[in-house]
Structure 1
């Protein structure tokens, strides 16, 4: 019989985070969820309330608890990572941080990008940047994640994994509004703004990334790992999948040399190599197979 683990989930109370928590509970793990108290976690878990940016409050909330695994869903800056590293040193046997494909924002290869393209140990950390300013943090999202990984990976206080997540699709609770953006424009005939050249990207289904994080929590590998379904998806494939849910009305594209473009209309490549995770034993689906289902889930309530 599988031994129940003591698991802490920081944040992650919606979208794929809540699916991850459900998987942990269903597996018999003793789950603790820590957030700022803005939303209650599901039944069956312990709820700790603290602002993770406040080291004293975080340490007091954790108290003397020790965890087999910490799953950090909301670490966006090196400051947050530094606080967590100090608080959880000696208190966890494994730390899994949810990172992002955006760590590769300076890589523009025609090949799928492997984890080695960004080695967190070589990333310079600057704790003095204005990480607490929302506009700066939004503009430096990828850099914040890179530096957060670097804090954990350099002289690690515990076995550390950074899961670099591809763009997530699917679910009737997708709060991003990205697929709805296309549905609204296709339905009304409004143009979809795109750059002169749009590049494909790798994606992952909301249920698949929850499966992946659950799996990663129970493995013993360390370091960065890419989480992406097999296959690249071009913008026209994505928009046609949305159009298929709207009686096949074709999208209208409008090319813009500069300025804001529609979601997933990428000016650079966002393709991740998932071979490391595959070698480690995770089985990914194919984006082209699950895409129609993902679009239907997201648009089903309104369309």
Structure 2
């Protein structure tokens, strides 16, 4: 197949791009060319900005694709622009949504694709829901060939995943652990979560490319391994060669001190996330997640250590962690 990825070099998509080429598909990446080191050999890059619809329309006017995947559509305006660009021009359009769109709080601990979409805590998730609704309406009304994929927390070589870490400088968490500083864990550390390695996600995703029965369907693709947050932080520490000094704080306290955390905690990580993957396994029988978190995070730490330019720390984030710890401990003493 000839496949277009809008993006294709990000944390999740770079692993999918690599596997797509390995499976023999012709892959074209449309992006701004800022992460060329993550373009797999054999892929072709069209440099452009998907937000400039007229320019992209001209860029793609002589191209035809069996599948189009948009990795970077976040708002209904983005989805509407994709409808303008690709309606009637592809056999399948895959929209990357988010598992954070699922109901918060959950009525049942086990998440299936039929779990309602409702997130009153996070605008990011509500925008993803609105995109899904827009695209599914286009499918139901005009036959637009949409497939929806909802990743949960997916990591790879370039991401050290945690509920609290610096997004720009993720090595900050490992550095803090190695210095013996206190590490904040939301809640009591016993709630359940699912971490998925991007190479595992890729296997399920690539199996959906060109799958005729996937049109009009939604899927999440995650590991079946379920961990507590304490186990996650201890696995990161073990990969870094240390025992982390964990401090548990309620999500209420953390969000009161830093309202920017509301979406990521109440709208996502403070709620247990256990996924039923039977649907993706039914559509893609070869899909199986084989990378346990302890192994995957060890690879990640080794990757960072092999790329010292990535081992930068975020002093503003460190200061924010110290301030919350100080306030928390002062409250306990009083």
TM-score grouping bracket, smaller chain normalisation: 0.7 to 0.9
List gaps (5 residues or longer) in structure 1.
Answer: 124-137
User: Contact 1:71–1:96 at 8 Å: present in 2 too?
Assistant: yes
**Counterparts in 2 of 1:81-120, with a 5 A limit?**
81-104=79-102, 106-118=104-116
Partner of 1:214: 206
Q: 1:34-183 maps to which residues of 2 (within 5 A)?
A: 34-40=30-36, 41-104=39-102, 106-118=104-116, 140-156=123-139, 157-171=143-157, 173-174=158-159, 180-183=171-174
SS of residue matched to 2:245: coil
Residues 221-258 of structure 1, C-alpha deviation per residue, up to 9 Å, x if partnerless?
A: 23110111113211111112122224342432142442
Aligned-partner SS, 2:305: coil
Q: 1:107 to 1:117 in 2, by over 3 A?
A: farther
- Relative distance call for 1:160 and 1:252 in structure 2 (3 A) is same
1:284 to 284, 288, 295: 288
**3-state SS of paired residue (2:74):** coil
Cα distance, 1:141 vs. partner?
1.3
Conserved in 1, the CA contact under 8 Å of 2:160 and 2:171? no
- Distance across 2 between alignment mates of 1:28 and 1:245: 34
- Secondary structure of 1:23 counterpart: helix
Task: Return the TM-score normalized by structure 1.
Answer: 0.81
1:185 matched to 2:176: yes
Task: Give SS of 1:192's match.
Answer: strand
| Residue-pair matches, total | 279
Deviation at 1:48, TM superposition (A): 1.9
SS at 2:96 equivalent: strand
Q: Is the 8 A contact 1:168 1:205 kept in 2?
A: yes
Matched, 1:274 2:277: yes
The alignment's C-alpha RMSD in Å is 2.8
Instruction: Say if 2:331 is the partner of 1:298.
Output: no
Helix, strand or coil: the match of 1:186? helix
Q: Which runs of 5+ in 2 are unaligned?
A: 307-334
Larger helix percent: 2
Q: Determine if contact 2:138/2:144 at 8 Å carries over to the other structure.
A: no
The answer (yes or no) to whether the contact 2:195–2:293 under 8 Å persists in 1 is no
In structure 2, the CA distance between the partners of 1:266 and 1:6, relative to structure 1 (3 Å rule), is closer
CA spacing shift, 1:175–1:82, aligned 2, 3 Å: farther
Q: Secondary structure at the match of 2:5?
A: strand
1:19 equivalent among 8, 15, 23: 15
**Contact 1:167-1:203 at 8 Å conserved across structures:** yes
> Which runs of at least 4 in structure 1 moved beyond 4 Å after TM superposition?
175-179
Q: What's the offset of the Cα at 1:92?
A: 0.4
Give yes or no for the alignment of 1:10 onto 2:1: no
Instruction: Report the alpha carbon displacement of residue 107 of structure 1 after superposing the two structures with TM.
Output: 4.0
Return the TM-score normalized by structure 2: 0.74
Q: 1:252 to 1:11 in 2, by over 3 A?
A: same
